[in-house]
Amino acid sequence: MTDRRRISGPSVGTAPPIFSSTIVGAEKAQLKRPVRTRKPSELRKIFLKTGVTPSASGSAYLELEFPSPSTPSSQKKTFLSPSSTLKLTCTIHGPKPLPRSSPYNPSLLLSTTIKFSPFATRYRRGYIRDTIERDLSAHLETALRGVIIGDRWPKCGVDVVVTVLEGEEDRWCGDELGGGSDGVGGVGGWGSMGVLAGAVTVASAALVDAGIDCVDLVTGGVAAVVGRSRSLGGKAQQGDDEDESFVVLDPSPPEHAEIGAACVVAYLAERDEITELWSKGDAGVPAEELVDQAVAAAKATRNVLVEAILETAKLKFPDAVLSTGKSGGDIDMTG
Amino acid sequence: MPPTSSQLLLSPAELSYLHSSLSLTPPIRPDGRTTTQFRPLVAESGIIPSANGSARVCFSDGTEAIAGVKAEVEKSQWRPGSTEQSLQVDEDGGDDEAGQAGTQGTGENSWISMSIEVPGFRDDDALPVFLSAMLTEALLADGKLKDRLWINRRFHWKLYIDILLLSAPLSYPLPLLSLTTHLALLSARLPKLKSEGDEDPLFDDDWEASTYLYPRDTKGACLDRPPITLLVIAVGPNFVFDPSKEELAVAEAVIALSAGTSDASTLNKNLRLLSIRTIDPPSRLTPLGIPDALSSAATGSAPLPPDEQLAAREGTDEHGVWNPPRGGMKRAVLAQIIKAVIEPGGVAQEVMDGLMHVEV
Instruction: Using CA coordinates, name the residue in chain B closest to A111.
Output: B1
Q: Does B312 touch chain A (CB under 8 A)?
A: no
DSSP line for B269-318: T-EEEEEEEEE--GGGGSPPP--GGG-HHHH-SPPPPHHHHHHHHHH---
How many angstroms separate the CA of residue A13 from the nearest CA in chain B? 14
- B199 C-beta neighbours (distance < 10 Å), count: 12
Strand partners, A276: A266
Instruction: Using CA coordinates, name the residue in chain B closest to A231.
Output: B83
Residues of B in contact with A291 (CB under 8 A): 331, 334
Q: Does B104 touch chain A (CB under 8 A)?
A: no
How many angstroms separate the CA of residue A325 from the nearest CA in chain B? 26
How many angstroms separate the CA of residue B278 from the nearest CA in chain A? 5
**Whole-number average pLDDT of chain B:** 80
Q: What integer pLDDT is reported at residue A198 of this predicted model?
A: 94
Instruction: Using CA coordinates, name the residue in chain B closest to A187.
Output: B133
How many angstroms separate the CA of residue B105 from the nearest CA in chain A? 9
Put simply, the answer to whether B329 touches A180 (Cβ < 8 Å) is: no
> What's the rounded Cα separation, in Å, for the pair A196 and A168?
10
Higher pLDDT, B95 or B3: B3
Instruction: Using CA coordinates, name the residue in chain B closest to A281.
Output: B141
Please report how many Cα atoms fall inside a 13 Å half-sphere around the Cα of residue A268, on the Cβ side: 22
How many angstroms separate the CA of residue B353 from the nearest CA in chain A? 21
Q: What integer pLDDT is reported at residue B79 of this predicted model?
A: 64
Residues of B in contact with A283 (CB under 8 A): 272-273
Q: What integer pLDDT is reported at residue B360 of this predicted model?
A: 60
Q: What integer pLDDT is reported at residue A165 of this predicted model?
A: 93
Closest C-alpha to B338, from A264, A288, A314, A261: A288
Best to test chain B binding among A20, A131, A280, A292 (most B CBs inside 10 Å):
A280
Q: Does B324 touch chain A (CB under 8 A)?
A: yes
Instruction: Using CA coordinates, name the residue in chain B closest to A295.
Output: B331
Helix (H) or strand (E) segment spanning residue B66: strand B64-75
> What's the rounded Cα separation, in Å, for the pair A164 and A119?
9
> What's the rounded Cα separation, in Å, for the pair A228 and A234?
10
Put simply, the answer to whether A282 touches B284 (Cβ < 8 Å) is: no
> What's the rounded Cα separation, in Å, for the pair B68 and B161?
6
Instruction: Evaluate whether A142 touches A196 at the Cβ level (below 8 Å).
Output: no
Closest C-alpha to A79, from A164, A118, A22, A31: A22
Residue in B81, B106, B132 nearest the CB of A177: B81
Residue in A18, A152, A186 nearest the CB of B136: A186
Residues 6+ apart with CB under 8 A from B359: B44, B45
Instruction: Evaluate whether B105 touches A248 at the Cβ level (below 8 Å).
Output: no
> What's the rounded Cα separation, in Å, for the pair A307 and A304?
5
Residues 6+ apart with CB under 8 A from B97: none
Note the helical H segments in chain B.
12-23, 83-90, 96-101, 126-141, 145-148, 174-187, 245-248, 296-299, 306-315, 331-342, 347-356
What phi, psi does B223 have (nearest 5°)?
Answer: -85, -20
Instruction: Using CA coordinates, name the residue in chain A closest to B255.
Output: A277
> What's the rounded Cα separation, in Å, for the pair A171 and A192?
11
Put simply, the answer to whether B143 touches A216 (Cβ < 8 Å) is: no
Q: What integer pLDDT is reported at residue B89 of this predicted model?
A: 42
CA B158 to chain centre: 21
User: What is the DSSP code (8-state) at residue A120?
Assistant: S
Q: Does B343 touch chain A (CB under 8 A)?
A: no
Window B:203-242, CB contacts with A under 8 Å: none
Helix (H) or strand (E) segment spanning residue B44: strand B41-45
Q: What integer pLDDT is reported at residue A130 of this predicted model?
A: 82
> What's the rounded Cα separation, in Å, for the pair B53 and B97?
33
User: What percent of chain B shows pLDDT beyond 70?
Assistant: 86
CA B297 to chain centre: 46
Instruction: Evaluate whether B39 touches B312 at the Cβ level (below 8 Å).
Output: no
What phi, psi does B289 have (nearest 5°)?
Answer: -80, 155
Determine, yes or no, domain membership for B310: no
What is the arithmetic mean of pLDDT over B182-211? 86
Residue in A23, A215, A263 nearest the CB of B326: A215
The CATH number linked to B234 is 3.30.230.70
What phi, psi does A73 have (nearest 5°)?
Answer: -65, -20
- pLDDT of A82-119, one tens digit each? 677 899 999 999 889 988 888 888 888 899 999 999 98
The domain in which residue B270 lies consists of 4-78+88-287+322-356
Instruction: Using CA coordinates, name the residue in chain A closest to B261.
Output: A282
Residues of A in contact with B106 (CB under 8 A): 179-181
Query: pTM for the complete prediction?
Result: 0.85
Note the helical H segments in B126-233.
126-141, 145-148, 174-187
Determine, yes or no, domain membership for B297: no
Q: What integer pLDDT is reported at residue B86 of this predicted model?
A: 42
Q: Work out the end-to-end distance of chain A between its first and last CA atoms, rounded to an integer number of angstroms.
A: 34
- pLDDT of B105-147, one tens digit each? 677 778 888 899 988 888 778 888 888 888 888 888 777 788 8
Q: What integer pLDDT is reported at residue A335 of this predicted model?
A: 35
Q: Which amino acid is at A224?
A: A
Residues 6+ apart with CB under 8 A from A319: none
Instruction: Map out the domains of chain A as residue ranges.
Output: 31-216+299-317
How many angstroms separate the CA of residue A198 from the nearest CA in chain B? 17
How many angstroms separate the CA of residue A291 from the nearest CA in chain B? 9
Write out residues in chain A with pLDDT < 70, as ranges.
1-2, 13, 16, 18-31, 67-82, 174-188, 228-243, 283-285, 321-335
Best to test chain B binding among A273, A285, A290, A299 (most B CBs inside 10 Å):
A273
Instruction: Evaluate whether B247 touches B231 at the Cβ level (below 8 Å).
Output: no
Distances (CA, A) of A252 to A46, B106, B160: 14, 24, 32
Instruction: Evaluate whether B69 touches B185 at the Cβ level (below 8 Å).
Output: yes
Q: Does B86 touch chain A (CB under 8 A)?
A: yes
- B307 C-beta neighbours (distance < 10 Å), count: 9
Instruction: Using CA coordinates, name the residue in chain A closest to B127.
Output: A138
Question: Is it true that the peptide bond before B26 is cis, omega within 30 degrees of 0?
Answer: yes
**Selection from A73-82, A100-109, B47-56, B304-313 with the highest mean pLDDT:** B47-56
Determine, yes or no, domain membership for B307: no
The size of the A-B interface in CB pairs under 8 A is: 176
Instruction: Evaluate whether B251 touches B235 at the Cβ level (below 8 Å).
Output: yes
Residue in A23, A151, A278 nearest the CB of B324: A151
Q: CATH code for A31-216+299-317? A: 3.30.230.70
